[in-house]
Amino acid sequence: MKLSKNRKLVLDALDLEKVYEPIDAIKVLKEKTFVKFDETLDISINLNIDASKTEQNIKGVTNLPNGTGKKVRVAVITSDDNVTEAKESGADLYGGQEFIDNISSNKIDFDILIATPDIMPKLGKVAKILGPKGLMPNPKLGTVTKEIKNAVTSAKSGQVKFKNDKSGIVHAGIGKISFSDDKILENLKVFYSSINKSKPDSVKGSFIKKVTIASTMGVGLQINQASLR
């Protein structure tokens, strides 16, 4: 792959084999940015799991204390009795059966979908559309609930879903390059802690093999796990 001049300069100035202290890695990524937009800082956590075994896969949600820096569009599907509550909760989109009909027509203009338990049976007809996009409401993720206001507030204030991929790696955005170093570090530690606590009972020995952070257009820097605990 042909490297851009800026990217080549970044690579030439970095030791990619080094294990960085978290705060040092954050500072380096900020110093080495060469684009004009506010990059996302991404974390990759390599897990010591066999992703082919269902019982070793992890899936969950965590709330970053300083948010992600990304504007999230939240939709609520509920019965007619609760539509007013959904509107007042701050949801960007809300409705009942007509909303489900829109989804059937692939009209999806939201990032997170929250549903009340009474409406879930009706969502079965659009599960094949929502599922592959990671948008199907799930009680374990807090997106199937009677507490509409709390769910919407959490979704908009920095809620991040996570699950490992087929290689046993978890990826997530933990903030923007414009965030202060301390805010990024706090988000990083909270996300790391959430993953660490998700260790399946069937996994023996160390659970997390490697942690790397990178900016959208930058390189990945491995960081010292001990400093995250």
Q: Which residue has the tokens 């009474």?
A: 118
* Statement: residue 179 has pLDDT above 50: yes
Residue 200 has what pLDDT?
95
Residue 84 maps to which CATH number? 3.40.50.790
* Statement: residue 154 has pLDDT above 90: no
Mean of the per-residue pLDDT values of the chain: 90
- Show the domain range for 94: 74-156
Token pair listed for 9: 């300069």
Q: What is the pLDDT of residues 36-59, one digit of tens each?
A: 899 999 999 999 999 999 999 999
Tell me, yes or no, if the pTM score tops 0.75. Answer: yes
Residue 9 has what pLDDT?
58
Return the closest-CA partner of residue 96 out of 86, 105, 106, 110: 86
120 & 86 share domain: yes
d(C-alpha 94, C-alpha 36), whole Å? 35
Q: Quick check: is 129 in a domain?
A: yes
80 & 64 share domain: no
Q: What is the pLDDT of residues 184-198, one digit of tens each?
A: 999 999 999 999 999
145 & 104 share domain: yes
Q: Which of 113, 128, 156 is the last residue of a domain?
A: 156
Q: Quick check: is 6 in a domain?
A: no
Q: Quick check: is 7 in a domain?
A: no
d(C-alpha 99, C-alpha 96), whole Å? 5
Return the closest-CA partner of residue 161 out of 135, 132, 186, 182: 135
C-alpha distances out from residue 55 to 11, 192, 198, Å: 39, 20, 12
Residue 80 has what pLDDT?
84
Residue 28 maps to which CATH number? 3.30.190.20
24 & 79 share domain: no
Q: Quick check: is 48 in a domain?
A: yes
Q: With pLDDT > 70 as the criterion, what percentage of the chain qualifies?
A: 94
* Statement: residue 16 has pLDDT above 80: no
Q: What are phi and psi of 133, to 5 degrees?
A: -90, 0
Least confident stretch, 7-11, 20-24, 95-99, 132-136 = 7-11
Name which residue leads in pLDDT, 106 or 15: 106
Length of the chain: 229
Q: What average pLDDT does range 15-34 have in this prediction?
A: 89
d(C-alpha 229, C-alpha 227), whole Å? 6
104 & 170 share domain: no
Q: CB neighbours (10 Å) of residue 57?
A: 18
* Statement: residue 1 has pLDDT above 50: no
Return the closest-CA partner of residue 27 out of 229, 205, 191, 188: 188
Count of structural domains, the chain? 2
